[in-house]
Amino acid sequence: MNIPTKCDVVVIGGGPAGSMASGLLSKAGFEVVLLEKALHPRPTVGESLLPHFWNSADLLGVTEEIEAARFVEKAGALVLWGGSLRRSSFKDFGHERKPLHVDRGCFDKILLDGSARRGTGVFERVQAMRVELGGTGRKRVFYRCLDEEGEGSIEAEFVVDASGQSALIAKQGRFRIFDEDLRFSAAWGYYTGGEYLDFESEIRPVSQLHEHPPVTVVTALGDWGWTWHIPLRESISVGVILTPERWKEHGRFGDMETRFLRAVETSPVVGKLLGASQFVEGSANFMRDYAYKPVRLAIDGCYLVGDAAAFVDPINSAGVTFSMYAGILASWAIEMSMKNRARSANYQALFERQYLERLRLFRMLAVPSDRGADGESTDAALRSLRAFSDEEKLLALTTSILTNRSERIQHLFEQLELEADLRYGEFPIPARLA
CA distances from 299 to 161, 165, 283, 319, 366 (A): 11, 18, 37, 23, 27
Based on the domain organization, do 16 and 120 belong to the same domain?
yes
Whether 234 is covered by a domain: the verdict is: yes
pTM score of the predicted model? 0.94
Q: What is the per-residue pLDDT across 31-40, written as a single tens digit (0 to 9) for each?
A: 999 999 999 9
Whether 92 is covered by a domain: the verdict is: no
For 278, how many CA atoms within 13 A lie in the half-sphere containing its CB? 5
Low-confidence ranges of the chain (pLDDT < 50): none
Note the helical H segments in 182-252. Answer: 244-249
Helix (H, G, I), strand (E, B) or coil at 425: strand
Based on the domain organization, do 140 and 199 belong to the same domain?
no
Based on the domain organization, do 253 and 185 belong to the same domain?
yes
Residue 156 carries which side chain, given as an amino acid letter?
A
Give the domain CATH number at 152. 3.50.50.60
pLDDT of residue 372: 61
Whether 13 is covered by a domain: the verdict is: yes
Based on the domain organization, do 195 and 317 belong to the same domain?
no
Question: φ, ψ for residue 368 (rounded to 5)?
Answer: -55, 150
Whether 358 is covered by a domain: the verdict is: no
Q: CA-CA distance, 47 to 72, in Å (whole number)?
A: 10
Question: φ, ψ for residue 35 (rounded to 5)?
Answer: -110, 125
CA distances from 65 to 183, 231, 266, 324, 350 (A): 38, 21, 39, 17, 33
Contact 283, 255 (CB under 8 A): no
Q: CA-CA distance, 36 to 24, in Å (whole number)?
A: 17
pLDDT of residue 282: 93
Q: CA-CA distance, 432 to 419, in Å (whole number)?
A: 37
Based on the domain organization, do 165 and 213 belong to the same domain?
no
pLDDT of residue 370: 66
Q: Which domain holds residue 269?
A: 180-288
